[in-house]
């Protein structure tokens, strides 16, 4: 009898938006704990995840998205690198499976500077992993993570994982960094959604009459934060602003029936958002066998 497989196929899924190809790339997952939530207690988390047939405490997907246009090869978020344990850091393998090399990337679009989104930018020796890429990131995030007064107020864990790691990842791109504002290149527009971090940014992809929003960390655990948008996370720089931003974005994509791509929606991360009582729900897009 042949040996049974022990690994899944690579985490790669393509989706066209008009003439633009958006490819979901899996970086892996991380297992959370009950203490990452605010405004919702552990018993409620258990109940809500159980009702959705999800593990409790939650398992959080980490996705990145490749954008290919006629002239550009861009990556939205750079994954976690090798900094966050064995269940993460799969982006290089996913890129290879998609037939894209690090040197092919001409633009990295960051939604924000948190380790699961930016720690794949820079190698341990301080060299750029994306040797030919410019970095597009909100200057509000850059200023925040370089603010020594803010760093002094942070916990020791936050000082390391957010401030020190963030500075290390950004430094090699200092001479090729561009503010995430307006149309960053044809078909891609930066949308400020500050709250989760001071410079949290979504990217709107539009082509051929179709539109998709790549929304970063509007939600981390969809089974909790979509039905209850007031539920915030320990990762939020400004929890109140993060909750308000989440409600605005959810209202926008539900009203406009926009397709969303989420870094923490379950892979491949493409879904539509609908209103459900006082909250919202995600309807994953059906799997397509052709691109």
* CA separation, residue 45 to residues 196, 232, 281 (Å): 20, 12, 16
pLDDT-above-90 percentage for the chain = 96
Q: What is the mean pLDDT of residues 238-246?
A: 98
Q: What is the mean pLDDT of residues 9-32?
A: 96
Q: 126-178, pLDDT tens digit by residue? A: 999 999 999 999 999 999 999 999 999 999 999 999 999 999 999 999 999 99
Burial class of residue 52, CB neighbours in 10 A (0-12, 13-18, 19+): middle
Q: Within a domain: residue 5? A: no
pLDDT at 237: 95
Q: Within a domain: residue 16? A: yes
* Count: domains in the chain: 1
Q: Within a domain: residue 3? A: no
Its pTM stands at 0.96
Q: Within a domain: residue 260? A: yes
pLDDT at 19: 98
pLDDT at 8: 86
Residue holding tokens 């401030």?
A: 163
pLDDT at 268 over 80: yes
Residue 23 CB: number of other CB atoms within 10 A?
Answer: 21
pLDDT at 7: 85
Q: 97-134, pLDDT tens digit by residue? A: 999 999 999 999 999 999 999 999 999 999 999 999 99
pLDDT at 113: 98
pLDDT at 2 over 90: no
Q: How far apart are CA 229 and CA 196, in angstroms?
A: 13
**Is the CB of residue 117 less than 8 Å from the CB of residue 78?**
yes
28: domain range?
A: 12-284
Q: 200-225, pLDDT tens digit by residue? A: 999 999 999 999 999 999 999 999 99
Q: Within a domain: residue 50? A: yes
**What's the CATH code of the domain at 49?**
3.60.15.10
pLDDT at 169: 98
Q: Within a domain: residue 123? A: yes
Q: 184-202, pLDDT tens digit by residue? A: 999 999 999 999 999 999 9
Q: 62-85, pLDDT tens digit by residue? A: 999 999 999 999 999 999 999 899
Q: Within a domain: residue 291? A: no
Identify the band that residue 9 occupies on the pLDDT scale cut at 50, 70 and 90.
confident
pLDDT at 1: 77
Q: Characterize 167-206 residue by residue with b for buried, 16 or more Cβ atoms within 10 angstroms of its Cβ, and e for exposed.
A: eebbebbeeebeebeeebbebbbbbebbbbbbbbbbbbbb
Q: Which of 129, 128, 117, 133 is nearest to 92 (CA)?
A: 129
Calculate the average pLDDT of the chain: 96
Q: Within a domain: residue 2? A: no
């Amino acid at each position: 009898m042949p040996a049974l497989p022990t690994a899944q196929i690579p985490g790669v899924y393509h989706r066209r938006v008009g003439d633009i190809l958006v490819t979901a790339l899996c970086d892996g997952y991380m297992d959370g704990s009950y203490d990452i939530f605010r405004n919702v207690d552990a018993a409620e988390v258990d109940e809500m995840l159980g009702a959705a047939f999800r593990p409790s405490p939650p398992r959080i997907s980490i996705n990145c998205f490749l954008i290919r246009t006629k002239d550009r090869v861009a990556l939205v978020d750079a994954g976690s690198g090798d900094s966050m344990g064995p269940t993460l850091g799969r982006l290089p393998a996913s890129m290879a499976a998609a037939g894209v090399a690090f040197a092919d990337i001409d633009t990295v679009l960051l939604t924000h500077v948190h380790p699961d989104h930016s720690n794949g930018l820079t190698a341990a020796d301080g060299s750029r992993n994306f040797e030919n890429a410019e970095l597009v990131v909100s200057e509000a995030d850059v200023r925040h993570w370089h603010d020594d007064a803010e760093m002094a107020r942070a916990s020791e864990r936050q000082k390391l994982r957010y401030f020190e790691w963030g500075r290390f990842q950004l430094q090699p791109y200092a001479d090729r960094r561009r503010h995430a504002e307006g149309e960053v290149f044809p078909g891609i527009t930066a949308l400020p959604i500050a709250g989760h971090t001071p410079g949290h940014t979504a990217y709107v992809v539009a082509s051929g009459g179709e539109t998709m929003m790549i929304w970063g960390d509007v939600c981390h655990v969809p089974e909790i934060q979509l039905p209850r948008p007031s539920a915030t996370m320990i990762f939020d720089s400004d929890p109140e602003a993060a909750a308000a931003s989440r409600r605005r974005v959810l209202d926008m994509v539900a009203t406009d029936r926009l397709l969303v791509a989420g870094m923490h929606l379950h892979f491949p991360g493409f879904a539509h958002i609908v209103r459900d009582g006082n909250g919202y729900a995600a309807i994953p897009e059906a799997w397509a066998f052709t691109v």
